Amino acid sequence: MELEAQWWTGQLAADIHQALRYKELKLPSYKAQSPQLHLRRYFADLIAIVSNRFRLCPAARHLAVYLLDLFMDRYDISIQQLHVVALSCLLLASKFEEKEDSVPKLEQLNSLGCMTNMNLVLTKQNLLHMELLLLETFQWNLCLPTAAHFIDYYLSIAVHETDLHDGWPMVCL
């Protein structure tokens, strides 16, 4: 993860924090009413594992889980289909949050051990179809702040420089 552009140390930090807070207050509502709620843990783990393999930033990972939560909340989805949903959420979130060349390619994604072990393949058609359904569900609005968007700002205030070990506080993300 890149650290060169540290907005939370800049002049605009308070301003940006306020804008994020404002957006946070207008987030869509989450009711935890998915018929597949018991599977949430598994799919959140899948997103975490895949995002770690591609070294995606925490904001992309958290946004992906949040998109998954909101989508599951609104639809009754089969387990097989949930795999496509979860992976599409991750790709969509990384396209929004990451720089272009960090967005995972389908070929690399499909060759991951965790994918081949389960005979999982995400095709271009599946991805496109699901991304469009997701975008329509969220009315194309992916500016959704998550905990990961705030953490650096709060850490910069809560943790003193002398508390850092190799640039990170002892308890990190």
Partner 1 sequence: RWRPWSYADPLQEQDGVERFKWQRQDIPFGAATSYVHLEKLCEGSCATVYKGISRINGQLVALKVIRLEAEEGVPFTAIREASLLKRLKHANIVLLHDIIQTKETLTFVFEYMHTDLAQYMGQHPGGLHSCNVMLFMFQLLRGLAYIHQQHILHRDLNPQNLLISCLGELKLADFGLARAKSTPRQTYSSEVVALWYRPPDVLLGATDYSSDLDIWSAGCIFVEMIQGQPVFAGTSGTHEQLAKIWAVLGVPTEDTWPGLSKLPNYNTELVASTRPQRLRVICDRLSRVPEAEDLASRMLTAFPRGQISAQDALLHGFFSPLLPQLYQVSAGQLVLTVPGVRLQPEICDLFASYRIGHLSGGSSKFW
Residues that bind partner 1 (CB under 8 A): 1-7, 10-12, 15-16, 19-20, 23, 57, 59, 88, 91-92, 95-103, 105-106, 124, 127-128, 131-132, 135-136, 139-143, 145, 149
The residues that bridge with 43 in the sheet, in sequence order, are: none
In sequence order, what DSSP letters do the residues of 110-138 get, joined into one string? HTSHHHHTTT----HHHHHHHHHHHHHHT
Question: C-beta of 20: minimal distance to partner 1 in Å?
Answer: 5
How many CB atoms are closer than 10 A to CB 86?
Answer: 27
Question: C-beta of 51: minimal distance to partner 1 in Å?
Answer: 13
Shorter beta-carbon distance to partner 1: residue 82 or 148:
148
Tokens of 170: 């002892």
Shorter beta-carbon distance to partner 1: residue 50 or 97:
97
Shorter beta-carbon distance to partner 1: residue 36 or 126:
126
The vertex-168 CA angle with 166 and 172, nearest 5°, equals: 135
Shorter beta-carbon distance to partner 1: residue 37 or 141:
141
d(CA 156, CA 93): 25
3-state SS, residue 25: helix
Shorter beta-carbon distance to partner 1: residue 37 or 132:
132
Question: C-beta of 62: minimal distance to partner 1 in Å?
Answer: 11
Question: C-beta of 134: minimal distance to partner 1 in Å?
Answer: 9
d(CA 58, CA 48): 9
